[in-house]
């Protein structure tokens, strides 16, 4: 059976409705819990057709404080070398960038909340074209565009929102997978970040979630489905 292995860093930042899209295609979904499970061993044992590295509140460069990040980068690098399907979301995108030698560093300001993304010409010709509505942003770090990457999307606050490496690897800094019903877990889990982000409030994010989450799910399903088609899954 075809399998997708997802690396999860915190419980509430999961595959969201992407998981339903995978299961509808008869793709089995298995989670590896970062810092607890042995990622390299799981990848070697399972040989998943798809690896997804999800978001989390740590930085890609914090390998001394969080040694498991080194293993994640090594696994990502190996997967890129084999040109096997790979999706990185938020922290996952940063780890892909780090794996190919791009610099990951704190952004000028945190980007938290619902906002659209601006597509490059390449982005408009990619599955990202399905995402015309605002998506959820939740990050404090950014990265330089990897040398061999195709730039796909940006926002005024963050130049590198999405990129592709070859045909089978995609990194997106934003969250196109999040369910509206899950937002309360995000608000609780990231309460400290919200409290220290100027102009950001739990009530504001909650209201925007009511406004945009339903549309994001319909568009996000199409986006993810097109991307899976493109990588042969």
pLDDT-derived band of residue 212, with 50, 70 and 90 as boundaries? Answer: very high
**What pLDDT is stored for residue 112 in this prediction?**
97
Query: Mean pLDDT over all residues of the chain?
Result: 97
pLDDT-derived band of residue 147, with 50, 70 and 90 as boundaries? Answer: very high
**What pLDDT is stored for residue 83 in this prediction?**
97
Distance CA 226, CA 228 (A): 5
pLDDT-derived band of residue 154, with 50, 70 and 90 as boundaries? Answer: very high
**What pLDDT is stored for residue 170 in this prediction?**
98
pLDDT-derived band of residue 198, with 50, 70 and 90 as boundaries? Answer: very high
What value does the mean pLDDT take over residues 165-185?
97
pTM (two decimals) = 0.97
Q: 166 lies in which domain range? A: 3-230
Query: Which CATH number belongs to the domain containing residue 61 in this structure?
Result: 3.40.50.880
**What pLDDT is stored for residue 55 in this prediction?**
97
**What pLDDT is stored for residue 54 in this prediction?**
98
Distances (CA, A) of 85 to 35, 140, 148, 224: 23, 26, 17, 13
Contact 134, 212 (CB under 8 A): yes
What value does the mean pLDDT take over residues 19-48?
97
What value does the mean pLDDT take over residues 23-45?
97
**What pLDDT is stored for residue 72 in this prediction?**
98
Q: What is the 3-state secondary structure (H, E, C) of the chain?
A: CCEEEEEECCCCCCCCCHHHHHHHCCCEEEEEECCCCCHHHHHHHHCCCEEEECCCCCCCCCCCCCCHHHHHHHHHHHHHHCCCCEEEECHHHHHHHHHCCCCEEEEEEEEEEEECCEECHHHHCCHHHHCCCCEEEEEEEEECCCCCCEEEEECCCCCCCEEEECCCEEEECCECCCCHHHHHHHHHHCHHHHHCCCCCCHHHHHHHHHHHHHHHHHHHHHHHHHHHHHCCC
**What pLDDT is stored for residue 161 in this prediction?**
98
- The pair of structure tokens assigned to 220 is 């996000």
Based on the structure, what is the number of domains in the chain?
A: 1
Contact 31, 4 (CB under 8 A): no
What value does the mean pLDDT take over residues 197-226?
97
Condensed to tens digits (0 to 9), the pLDDT of residues 38-93 reads 999 999 999 999 999 999 999 999 999 999 999 999 999 999 999 999 999 999 99
Contact 77, 53 (CB under 8 A): no
């Amino acid at each position: 059976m075809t399998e997708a292995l997802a690396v999860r860093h915190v419980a509430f930042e999961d595959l969201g409705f992407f998981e339903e899209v995978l299961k509808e295609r008869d793709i089995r979904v298995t989670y590896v819990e970062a810092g607890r499970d042995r990622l390299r061993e799981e990848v070697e044992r399972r040989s998943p057709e798809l690896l997804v590295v999800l978001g989390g509140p740590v930085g890609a460069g914090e390998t001394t404080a969080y040694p498991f990040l080194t293993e994640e980068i090594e696994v990502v690098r190996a997967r890129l070398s084999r040109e096997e399907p790979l999706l990185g979301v938020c922290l996952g995108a940063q780890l892909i960038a780090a794996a190919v030698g791009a610099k990951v560093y704190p952004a000028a300001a945190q980007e938290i909340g619902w906002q659209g993304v601006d597509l490059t010409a390449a982005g408009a010709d990619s599955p990202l074209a399905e995402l015309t509505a605002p998506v959820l942003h939740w990050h404090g770090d950014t990265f330089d565009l990897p040398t061999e990457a195709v730039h796909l999307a940006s926002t005024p606050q963050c130049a590198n929102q999405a990129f592709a490496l070859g045909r089978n690897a995609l990194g997106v800094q934003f969250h196109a997978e999040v369910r509206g019903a899950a937002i309360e877990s995000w608000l609780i889990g990231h309460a400290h970040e919200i409290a220290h982000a100027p102009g950001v409030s739990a009530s504001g994010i909650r209201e925007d979630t009511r406004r945009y989450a339903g549309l994001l799910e319909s568009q996000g399903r199409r986006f993810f489905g097109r991307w899976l088609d493109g990588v042969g899954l």
